[in-house]
Structure 1
Amino acid sequence: MSTEYLGAPVYGIDKNTGNQAWLDSRLDAAVSLQDIHFIDDYKTDKFEMISRTAESLSDLGFYGNASEPDAISRDRRAPFDKDNPATKRLIDIVDGVENWLELVPTAAALMPIYNPDVAQLPNGQMMTSDLREWLGNLYDGIGIRGRGAAVTRLAAEESMRHSEPIDMISLACGAAQPIFDALGSVRSNGASVPRVKMVDLSKPILELVDEVAAQSGLGDHVETVRMNILKRDRFDESVLGYGQSGFVEAVGIFEYLKDLGDQNEYDKVMERGSNMADAVTFLRNSYDLVKPGGMLLIGNMLDTHPQLGFTLNVVQWPHIQPRSVDQMIDIVGKSQIPVGSLDIYLPNDGDPGNAVYALYAIRKPDIGV
Structure 2
Amino acid sequence: MTTGEARRAFEAAYDRAPEAVASAPGRVNLVGGHTDYNQGLVLPVAIDYRTAVAIAPRDDGRYRLRSTDFEGEVRVDGLPDDPLDTHDAMWANYPLGVLVELAAADLTAERGLDLLVAGDVPRGAGLSSSAALEVATAAAAYALDTPGEALPRRDLAEAAWRAETGFVGLDCGIMDQYASALCRAGEALFLDCRSRETRGVTFDDDGLRTVVVDTRVEHELASSAYNDRVRECEAAVARFDASLGDVTSLRDVDRDALVAHSDDLPSTLRRRARHVVTENERVRTAVDALEAGDVEAVGDCMFESHASLRDDYEVSCRELDAVVELAWETSGVLGARMTGGGFGGSVVALVEAGAVDDFRAHVDAAYAERADTDVDPRTFVCSAAEGVSVG
Same fold (TM > 0.5) = no
Question: In proportion to residue count, which structure has more strand?
Answer: 2
Question: In proportion to residue count, which structure has more helix?
Answer: 2
Class of the TM-score when normalised by the shorter of the 2 chains: under 0.3
Normalising to structure 1: TM-score of the pair? Answer: 0.25
Q: Specify the structure having the higher radius of gyration (Cα).
A: 2
Normalising to structure 2: TM-score of the pair? Answer: 0.24
